[in-house]
């Protein structure tokens, strides 16, 4: 939690000055306006902000507590509630192998997140992991994945440059099944989402994986760069219309003043944030915990 708190400093600062206890010392219209402004600045989103501020104000003015400390506590609770995903934020690893397809626009932290996830699963949880480098469009992406694979000591399935992404995905899942892997993680291309062929390519990779292993992929994770705030949310909306995204990996929270986007995503997409990236190190990918997150934003 300490590290999470440290790395959410920028968002907390964006909220911070406004949200110290003194905000609730006097309760008048300005209190609620300032709170609203601060939440909007942190990219919590207009809808969620209105709901949270409205609720807190209503409780405080209708005979509820007016104690500053208690109001801050209640604010944390309301933020956590709003950030709490609609489904289980966990990833079921009992599919033998569980196939995780990872998509996201280039630069959002897709490859890094896959590397961290593979490393955590392999070294901390003792899982047998296979990586599929189906972002065959970028030679650098394949190399990067191979480096992560070496670090985590997991097998990386690749094809020559320009190979059909579907065939690499197919092969990765086939090998994963053959060697009794617990998890197969498939990287996919991330050229700009406005290009229709990308969405078609992702759909094709999905179909091919399902053909090799009916029911797979079991998870489709989408990386969203939290520093891009509402833009990231827009991207996530477009991706989720094209593919049944099951979870968000919210990256770069350490460098972001817009960490509130986790709440906007949960509210507007109905897709749980499952993992968060809070740094570039191996250990900097964490499961998302709404209460810890909300607490780290405010205190």
The contact set with ligand GDP (CB under 6 A) reads: 104, 106-112, 190, 223, 251-252, 254-255, 277-280, 284
Known binding residue 132? Answer is: no
Flag whether 109 is marked binding. Answer: yes
Task: Give the residue with the Cβ less far from ligand GDP, 201 or 254.
Answer: 254
Residue 108, annotated as binding a ligand: yes
CA distance 288 to 72: 21
Beta carbon of residue 246, minimum distance to ligand GDP (angstroms, whole number): 18
Between residues 213 and 293, which has the closer beta carbon with respect to ligand GDP?
Answer: 293
Ligand-binding site membership of 253 (annotated): yes
For ligand GDP, give the closer residue by CB, 52 or 279: 279
Q: How far is the CB of 112 from ligand GDP (least distance, A)?
A: 3
**Do the Cβ atoms of 98 and 92 come closer than 8 Å?**
yes
When the beta carbons of 56 and 122 are compared against ligand GDP, the nearer one is 122
Least Å distance between CB 198 and ligand GDP?
13
Shortest distance (Å) from residue 116 CB to ligand GDP: 8
Q: Give least dist CB 227 to ligand GDP, A.
A: 9
Do residues 276 and 260 touch, judged by C-beta distance below 8 A?
A: no
Nearer to ligand GDP, 98 or 256 (CB): 256
The answer to whether the annotation marks 270 as part of a ligand binding site is no
Q: Which residues are annotated as a binding site for GTP?
A: 104-111, 187-191, 251-254
Q: Which residues are annotated as a binding site?
A: 104-111, 187-191, 251-254
């Amino acid at each position: 939690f300490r590290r999470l708190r440290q790395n959410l400093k920028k968002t907390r600062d964006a909220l911070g000055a406004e949200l110290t206890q003194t905000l609730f010392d006097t309760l008048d219209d300005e209190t609620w306006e300032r709170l609203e402004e601060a939440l909007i600045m942190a990219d919590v989103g207009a809808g969620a902000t209105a709901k949270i501020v409205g609720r807190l104000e209503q409780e405080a003015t209708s005979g509820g507590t007016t104690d500053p400390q208690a109001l801050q506590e209640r604010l944390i609770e309301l933020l956590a509630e709003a950030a709490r995903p609609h489904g289980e934020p966990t990833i079921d690893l009992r599919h033998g192998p569980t196939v995780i397809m990872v998509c996201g626009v280039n630069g959002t932290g897709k490859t890094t997140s896959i590397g961290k996830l593979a490393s955590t699963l392999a070294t901390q949880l003792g899982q047998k992991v296979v990586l599929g480098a189906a972002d065959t469009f970028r030679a650098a992406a394949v190399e990067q994945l191979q480096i992560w694979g070496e670090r985590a000591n997991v097998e990386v399935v690749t094809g020559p440059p320009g190979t059909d992404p579907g065939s690499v995905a197919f092969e990765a899942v086939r090998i994963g099944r053959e060697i009794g892997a617990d998890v197969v993680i498939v990287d996919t291309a991330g050229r700009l989402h406005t290009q229709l062929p990308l969405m078609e390519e992702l759909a094709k990779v999905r179909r091919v994986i399902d053909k090799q292993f009916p029911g797979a992929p079991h998870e489709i994770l989408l990386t969203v760069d939290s520093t891009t705030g509402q833009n990231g949310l827009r991207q996530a909306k477009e991706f989720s219309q094209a593919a049944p995204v099951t979870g968000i990996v919210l990256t770069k929270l350490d460098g972001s003043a817009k960490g509130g986007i986790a709440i906007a995503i949960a509210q507007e997409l109905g897709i749980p944030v499952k993992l968060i990236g809070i740094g570039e190190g191996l250990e900097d990918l964490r499961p998302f915990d709404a209460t810890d997150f909300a607490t780290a934003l405010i205190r």
